[in-house]
Amino acid sequence: MAYFKGEEQFISQILDLKNQAIDNQKIVRTLFLDPYHQKIVEQLIGSNPSLQVGTFGGFGECEYARMVIAPSFYELEQDDYLVQVIRISYPDRFRKLEHRDVLGALMSLGLKRELFGDIYEIDRDFYVAIDKRQEQYVISNLKKIAIFSVKIHPVDEIVEGVVEFEKEVFFVSSYRLDKIIATLFKINRSLAVDAIESGMVKVNYKTVEQISFLCNNNDIISFKKHGKVRLNFTERTTKSNNFVIEGYFYT
């Protein structure tokens, strides 16, 4: 599939799952996938009349989710996804944990990113969707995040996650990816070029290594170790003919 160039290994894994579902007439699961890889699974499996694909990430709406491939006669239930949402609470109400603290703490336990999904902060507690088979391991081992002692509570109900943004306005001379990265993340353009060419930048969850790639309105750009931002092209220009864009940074 030329459209998914560079994803040959992932496609091979999904086709193997597909064959398992057909040959053994049973459900099979992916790990947590970003929206780009969910799209690949849908295109690989969705047209097969003998199979069905389900998606669930633990929250009402989410970006990262697990997918189930199952025979078409099977009635999928929420438990089939093996997704467990946990609530992380901490007592200090004067200082604050950040999203990156929670992400780093989970990965420091040795959990690969594919074993947990979205992380939401709601009323100062953090909610995380994880592979249910990792639940007891996380409860037993995650006792502290940064300087805070934390407690882990399994959550049974569906939680509605809310994504919060910080908006900034920028002026760019071009929608080229290198210009966008340099401007929005406030770094030298040569550093932006190096970051893109070394695979540190994703557009809509797909790695893009072409500095001349033209961004589009509503694109989501991820810059490793710098953050994630959604673009909004305002269709306004400055007197010097620079484009006025808004960056909605994920907090």
Residue 3 pLDDT: 67
Residue 158's pLDDT band, with cuts at 50, 70 and 90, is confident
Residue 1 pLDDT: 53
| 38-52, 126-140, 183-197: the lowest-pLDDT one | 38-52
Q: Average pLDDT, stretch 155-184?
A: 93
Q: Is the pLDDT of residue 2 over 80?
A: no
> Which residue ranges make up each domain of the chain?
2-77, 83-155, 165-250
Residue 90's pLDDT band, with cuts at 50, 70 and 90, is very high
Residue 176 pLDDT: 97
Residue 148 to residue 162: CA distance in whole angstroms: 23
| pTM of this structure | 0.86
Q: Which residues pair with 149 in a beta bridge?
A: 144
Q: Average pLDDT, stretch 36-61?
A: 93
Residue 46 pLDDT: 81
8 Å CB contact between 249 and 229: yes
8 Å CB contact between 53 and 45: yes
Topology of domain 2-77 in CATH is: Ribosomal Protein S8; Chain: A, domain 1 (3.30.1370)
Q: Which of 123, 56, 71 is nearest to 96 (CA)?
A: 123
8 Å CB contact between 14 and 7: no
Q: Average pLDDT, stretch 130-134?
A: 97
Q: Whole-number mean pLDDT of the chain? A: 94
Q: Is the pLDDT of residue 51 over 70?
A: yes
Q: Which of 166, 161, 172 is nearest to 229 (CA)?
A: 166
Q: Which CATH number fits domain 165-250: 1.10.10.10, 3.40.50.720, 3.40.50.300, 3.10.290.10?
A: 3.10.290.10
Write out pLDDT tens, residues 196-239: 999 999 999 999 999 999 999 999 999 998 999 999 999 999 99
8 Å CB contact between 64 and 132: no
Which residues, 6 or more positions from 114, have their beta carbon under 8 angstroms from its beta carbon? 31, 32, 33
Identify the architecture of domain 83-155 in CATH.
2-Layer Sandwich (3.30)
Q: Which is more confident, 5 or 17?
A: 17
Residue 22 to residue 224: CA distance in whole angstroms: 38
Write out pLDDT tens, residues 57-84: 999 889 999 999 999 999 999 999 999 9
